[in-house]
Amino acid sequence: MILCCGEALIDMIPAPTLSGRNGYVPHSGGAVFNTAIALGRLGAPAGMLTAISSDLFGQQLLADLAASQVDRSMVIPTDRPTTLAFVRLENGQARYAFFDENSAGRMLTPADMPILPPAVTALFLGGISLAVEPGASAYADLALTQGTGRVVMLDPNIRPGFIKDADAYRARLAHLMARADIFKVSDEDLAWLIPGAAALADRVKTLRDAGDAVVIVTRGSAGAEAWLRDGTHIAVPGRAVTVVDTVGAGDTFNAGVLAHLAKGGHLTRAGIAALSPDHLRDALAFGAAVAAITVSRAGANPPWHHEVTA
């Protein structure tokens, strides 16, 4: 099972009302939640580890996990409120305003985390869950203490507005990067993590020097690039598609990569270490294919396996 560890929240997506003004429609979301949903729909064995509220939005989140065949046995119930993310679309790009104080996912502590069963063979972490305390420390501790023997994929999906202490956040990511088997960032994330005028390849080298992970950089419509542990560089183009919005695009890409690696028997620590350029290229291409479907429709609505042509 690929266990997705992190936030589950509600994206409030703008939509026109009868009065002509925009209203907001609640869509289940969150970077880690979206990845779990996409994995389930792609037929990969997926689970979700997060805290989910007993409120009406929490009930929606649980129902959507079930509908997409995501294991919910490691969800932690709580009476704290669900995080809300109000979305503003600018030329199809999503910008967010978060309401997250004292929320279900944010207030997790290391003591809340379960002992993971042997069925969990890979961990996926990232998103705002790694930026806000005490949950950030809880998820980082989980990866560092229970990631042994399991594949760990990390996508920080950086939201600068959440980061109160940039030095502490970068230090936390550095600890996790040293343990990660796959580290994925967008080009915007990379520019925030390593500011300055350095070229993309030089920034990636800095990441690669921090650990032993396969590094993946997504570049929106320009596609994705990756570097294997031995430095071999791979690139795949983006898919031409009419973009409705980009909500959940990177999360769906992550799921596509993980699902493809799992299906091919490569999603083990030994398998990642021995990954060939062709295997990684195929996984990136599949990720791009599923992400292209997501951006062609409103909100984070990943495709089912029968909708994808790799």
127, with CB counted inside 10 A (0-12, 13-18, 19+), is buried
Q: What is the pLDDT of residue 92?
A: 61
pLDDT at res. 97 = 85
Could you give the CA distance from residue 262 to residue 255 in angstroms, rounded to a whole number? 10
Q: Which of 34, 37, 161, 15 is nearest to 89 (CA)?
A: 15
- Whether the Cβ atoms of residue 121 and residue 267 lie closer than 8 Å to each other: yes
Tell me the helices (H) and strands (E) count for the chain, helix number first.
9, 14
- pLDDT the model gives residue 52: 98
| Separation CA 140–CA 86 (nearest Å) | 26
In this structure, are residues 6 and 154 in contact, taking their beta carbons and an 8 Å threshold?
no
User: ∠ CA 230-32-196 to the nearest 5 degrees?
Assistant: 55
Query: What's the rounded Cα separation, in Å, for the pair 303 and 283?
Result: 16
Residue 22's DSSP bridge partners are 16
What's the pTM value of the predicted model, to 2 decimals?
A: 0.93
Left (φ > 0), alpha (ψ -120 to 50) or beta: where does 299 sit? left
Domain coordinates in residue numbering, the chain: 2-16+24-302
Q: Domain 2-16+24-302: give its CATH superfamily.
A: Ribokinase (3.40.1190.20)
Adjacent-strand bridge partners of 235 = 225
Residue type, 78: T
Task: Please tell me the predicted confidence (pLDDT) of residue 256.
Answer: 97
Q: Are 11 and 29 in contact (CB under 8 A)?
A: yes
pLDDT at 192: 92
Mean pLDDT by 10 residues, the chain (310 residues): 97 85 90 97 97 97 98 97 87 78 93 96 95 94 95 94 88 92 95 88 90 92 93 91 81 97 96 96 96 85 84
Whole-angstrom Cα distance, residue 240 to residue 292?
Answer: 8
